[in-house]
Structure 1
Amino acid sequence: MRSRLTLTGILFLLAFAAHAQTENSMATGTNNNQPAPTALVARNNKYSISAGLGYYLPVLAEKNVSYSQAEYSPEFGLGFSYFVSLDYALTPDLYAGVGFNGSYGKARFIKNAIINGEQINGYLKAGALENTNLLLNITYAPARNGLQPYAKLGAGFFISELELGDIPLRLTNNVESELFPDYKSSGLGIVPEIGLKYKQFALSAAYAMPFKKLTGEKVSEPGAYTSTGTIKSYSLQINLSYRTSIFKN
């Protein structure tokens, strides 16, 4: 998780530095300090990179998830989303690109469980929801001044994990154990997105929809709970991003 956020930050800073350098070059001109012609600016403006962060709200669709001696009752904390995208302008209004989109949030899932014959009142230690999406993107943004609406559709490979929470160590002889197995999945999915741009900044709403359901891992530990049923992990994201052109002469 930390490595993906670090990569997002590094790419964002590199893009911002490249943007500042090229903007300075264009402001001073490349020949005798004359401004670059408009046509040249447009031709060298095809590649862009964007990065952003936002709010993540999990939306779970469960089917037959239950435990004989514990309650499954999700309660979500604050989550956040993050993404990076590299795009190429096919036309002034249409862009194609690649990128990744992720989300992470703390959550509590299991309460009033019986472990080794002892009742635990309340929730287990907090678990988490984590989603990573590797995407191919297509964006339509009508070229105009001021506020610019846009629509994007991403499609690609989704990796999702739902961690139900940890058992108190005092109940397992101070040995970490996974008596409630994680739910995991990997497969295809889509991320539709709509938003508004103003200059280099954008505010958008995206909804990540995997095609594959999460299923519980098999655990052979004595006393482990069987993870019944399936879960689909959708994510609503409200993102703020910054976009800059790259590879300009």
Structure 2
Amino acid sequence: MTRIGVVTFPGSLDDRDALRAVRLAGAEPVALWHDDADLHGVDAVVLPGGFSYGDYLRCGAIARFSAAMGSIVDAARAGLPVLGICNGFQILCEAHLLPGALTRNQHLHFRNRDQVLRVEHTGTAWTNGYAQGQEILIPVKNGEGCYVADPRTLDELEAEGRVVFRYVGGNPNGSQRDIAGVRNAAGNVVGLMPHPEHAIEALTGPSVDGLGMFTSVLAHLGAPAAATAGAPDGR
């Protein structure tokens, strides 16, 4: 069975939710510890949301130096699929696996709401199960989710199809060009601010649209998804 690791840092909040999403998608969830450089043979890694190391200094700035991240950076550059969610996205940017940075929300308020996203690119390990241009409903909850980069970097991301998700129907944090998520050049590393692990079951909602990210990586790895899982319906 495909094994997907979820890293727990001091201050992680959504690691249990991510482990559950991995299991519901049809993979074996593997708990990874921030201070352990051994990735225990996992086939992919999820960096969950939260406040790693209390978000001291800058969000993700301390986590990038953890033992686990040292191994993840090397493995990602060798092709390991890595998904960074919210704080995980911040960590990926701090570790220079993704360009840009996440700064204080432009309106200076924490935002927690259900958010429509448009899938801009499906050629990644984490989005191949969606349709190009599909709109999905995913919760967003952040205080420092404003994606910024210099104009040249933004233009390169657009030209190379590296903007993976874009906010639709309102921008919750002021991110430049309504960017909600980006990928690396190879497409194995994806980061986004919204929380797909909170949109995997109809009971807890607001949709099951987030499950597609976890089933997508199984398809990328050539593994079957759970019988009850599948590509989410568009919204």
| TM-score interval for Structure 1 and Structure 2 normalised by the shorter chain | under 0.3
What TM-score, normalized by structure 2, do the two folds share? 0.25
Q: Which has the higher helix share?
A: 2
